[in-house]
């Protein structure tokens, strides 16, 4: 008999978890905008914003209030429905990926074991790729609905760039999947908790994944969709007020999520480095362990966020033909090579080193 009774507590637990994770990723994205300006300032020998509140910590809220207060212009020649849909899609798709990322191990509250992952689906990575490729639609629809040549050009650039780099990203992931043998992010993290981090098995794969993540997030040096010297503002040229804010915000949420993904796939996820997590859990209790693990994950994510900014304020933008050349002639052959080598090694290993 199939039990069709609805587990109310389960639904409640997941809803709370979803709310918490959405709030956290929004907050992180909010403060990433601030961090970006600070990092930009420090790299350029300035201080960055430091007036709103001590050290400028209220700056993101001031920015948000400013964006909300701005006049919301919808161009008369635009497609009204799609114009509003664009930023919505961009934002939603940016948030959706967080569902499969394990933010920590299990915690136990009032006898219930709660996994700090919204959905541990066995095709986690496929889900991530599906959602990420949906993210193109946000840019595409926004650029097209604006009814502006620059926006359309930028949207086309963005779409072709994201599709090209998704290929190399997928190929670099395949090599990783050969090693792990699982598409579930939770299983991948568990494997890394006991053994070495995947980064040490797949340094080339990580490099390709990193470069593709930059391209997927439309970050410098691949921020061609918003190359202001060529396309004014890019696909969000006609946007104003919070719709523009949504686009800018989606970029930061994307950054956060791809940082989390990189940490999960290659740097052990919530695994605390140099510590045996299982034995530590027995000494301080699983709840505290889960908290420490979440902190560990966020430290890794924080490093990657900083890395994103660091690269942005160091490297100039690629030219469009260079971008395509790097994607198709550079990264895809490299990822294929990596895949073949990994496959070879996995095969040899399974046959027990016959030489």
Residues in the site for another protein, rule: CB under 8 A? 39, 42-47, 50, 310-311, 313-315
Return d(Cα 236, Cα 245) in angstroms, integer: 10
Q: Name the token pair of 198.
A: 């995947």
Q: Closest separation between CB of residue 315 and another protein, Å?
A: 6
Residue 137 or 313: which CB sits closer to another protein? 313
Q: Closest separation between CB of residue 35 and another protein, Å?
A: 13
31 bridge partner residues: none
Q: Closest separation between CB of residue 27 and another protein, Å?
A: 24
User: How is 303-322 classified by DSSP, letter by letter?
Assistant: HHHHHHHHHHTTSPPPPHHH
Residue 130 or 203: which CB sits closer to another protein? 203
Residue 66 or 325: which CB sits closer to another protein? 325
Which H or E element spans position 325?
Answer: none
C-beta separation of 94 from 88 below 8 A: no
Place of tokens 């909300």: 68
Residue 149 or 325: which CB sits closer to another protein? 325
Angle, in degrees to the nearest 10, between helices 124-145 and 185-194: 130
Q: Which of 219, 199, 209 lies closest to 167 in space, CA to CA? A: 209
Residue 196 or 310: which CB sits closer to another protein? 310
CA angle 217, 220, 223 (to 5 degrees): 65
Q: Closest separation between CB of residue 340 and another protein, Å?
A: 20
Q: Closest separation between CB of residue 47 and another protein, Å?
A: 5
Checking 229-236 for CB contacts under 8 A at 24+ apart, the result is 231/150, 231/151, 231/153, 231/154, 231/157, 232/150, 233/150, 234/143, 234/150, 234/151, 234/154, 234/158, 235/139, 235/142, 235/143, 235/146, 235/151, 235/154, 235/155, 235/158, 236/87, 236/142, 236/151
Residue 41 or 75: which CB sits closer to another protein? 41
Residue 22 or 43: which CB sits closer to another protein? 43
Q: Closest separation between CB of residue 43 and another protein, Å?
A: 5
Q: Closest separation between CB of residue 308 and another protein, Å?
A: 12
Q: Which of 240, 238, 233 lies closest to 72 in space, CA to CA? A: 240
């Amino acid at each position: 008999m199939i039990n069709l009774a609805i587990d109310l507590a389960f639904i409640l637990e997941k809803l709370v978890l979803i709310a918490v994770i959405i709030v956290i990723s929004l907050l992180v994205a909010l403060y990433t905008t601030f961090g970006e300006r600070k990092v930009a300032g420090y790299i350029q020998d300035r201080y960055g914003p430091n007036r709103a509140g001590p050290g400028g910590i209220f700056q993101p809220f001031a920015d948000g209030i400013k964006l909300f207060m701005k006049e919301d212009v919808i161009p008369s020649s635009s497609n009204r429905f799609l114009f509003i849909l664009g930023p919505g899609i961009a934002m939603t798709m940016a948030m959706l990926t967080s569902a499969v990322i394990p933010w920590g191990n299990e915690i136990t509250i009032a006898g219930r074991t709660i996994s700090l992952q919204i959905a541990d689906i066995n095709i986690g990575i496929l889900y991530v790729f599906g959602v990420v490729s949906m993210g193109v639609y946000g840019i595409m629809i926004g650029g097209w609905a604006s009814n502006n040549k620059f926006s359309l050009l930028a949207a086309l650039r963005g779409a072709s760039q994201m599709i090209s780099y998704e290929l190399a990203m997928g190929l670099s992931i395949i090599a990783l999947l050969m090693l792990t043998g699982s598409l579930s992010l939770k299983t991948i993290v568990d494997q890394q908790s006991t053994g070495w981090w995947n980064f040490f098995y797949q340094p080339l794969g990580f490099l390709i994944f990193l470069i593709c993540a930059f391209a997927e997030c439309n970050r410098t040096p691949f921020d061609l969709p918003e190359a202001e010297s060529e396309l004014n503002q890019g696909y969000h040229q006609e946007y104003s007020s919070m719709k523009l804010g949504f686009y800018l915000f989606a970029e930061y949420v994307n950054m956060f999520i791809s940082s989390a993904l990189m940490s999960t796939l290659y740097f052990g996820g919530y695994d605390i480095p140099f510590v045996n997590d299982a034995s530590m859990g027995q000494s301080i209790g699983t709840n505290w362990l889960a908290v420490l693990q979440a902190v560990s994950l966020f430290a890794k994510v924080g490093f990657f966020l900083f890395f994103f900014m660091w690269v942005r304020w160091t490297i100039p933008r690629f030219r469009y033909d260079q971008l395509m050349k790097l994607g198709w002639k550079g990264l895809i052959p490299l990822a294929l090579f990596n895949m073949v080598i990994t496959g070879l090694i996995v095969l040899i290993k399974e046959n027990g080193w016959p030489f």
